[in-house]
Amino acid sequence: MKKSNNTIYQTQLETPLGIMIAGATAEGICLLEFTERKILDAQWASLRRLLKATVEEGNHPHFSLLQQELDAYFAGNLHTFSVPLHLPGTDFQQAVWQLLLTVPYGDVRSYKQQATLLQRPYAVHAVGHANGMNRISIVVPCHRIVAGNGDLTGYGGGIWRKEWLLAHESRHQKKVETIG
């Protein structure tokens, strides 16, 4: 078997909501999840397969910007992340994740609204599934997507974290700062 030249570096980051696992490639952050995410092992396996990469514990320059930006976000001073992202997935998943990046800080959209914006109004469940496959919590803000009736559903980090993140963004919506 040919040895891979691709490496995903892995580290742990502390946040007010618990420890998160981060993964980074030369291209950008490819994973940011809470440690108790049920599908975390499957996400790592998917990344290794998609990127034909090995995973190593270690530091990467993207981690320091990510930690700075997370600290500023949790302080209520950052609304948009600038850390480079690496989002391997299907074309549809990538379209859903790119659309997530357009949901304004402190705002919410429904899965139906997301599907409509993608010009796939009947693909609500597919949009929900792609949201669930998002590997970069908080930075790719899938927590801003809610059920059509406004209920908080489907957040891999736990509904209590989704509720906390939305309340946090609502409280800090007027403060703006950029890092970098």
Q: Which residues are catalytic?
A: 142
What is Dmax (Cα atoms) for the chain? Answer: 54
What's the rounded Cα separation, in Å, for the pair 75 and 81?
14
Sheet holding 18-24, edge to edge: 29-34, 18-24, 6-15, 53-57
* C-alpha distance from residue 168 to each of 79, 116, 141 (Å): 11, 27, 13
Q: Which two tokens stand for residue 138?
A: 């908080």
Q: Are 32 and 20 in contact (CB under 8 A)?
A: yes
Q: Kindly report the CA angle at 7 between 58 and 40, in degrees rounded to 5?
A: 75
Report strand pairing: 6-15 vs 53-57.
parallel
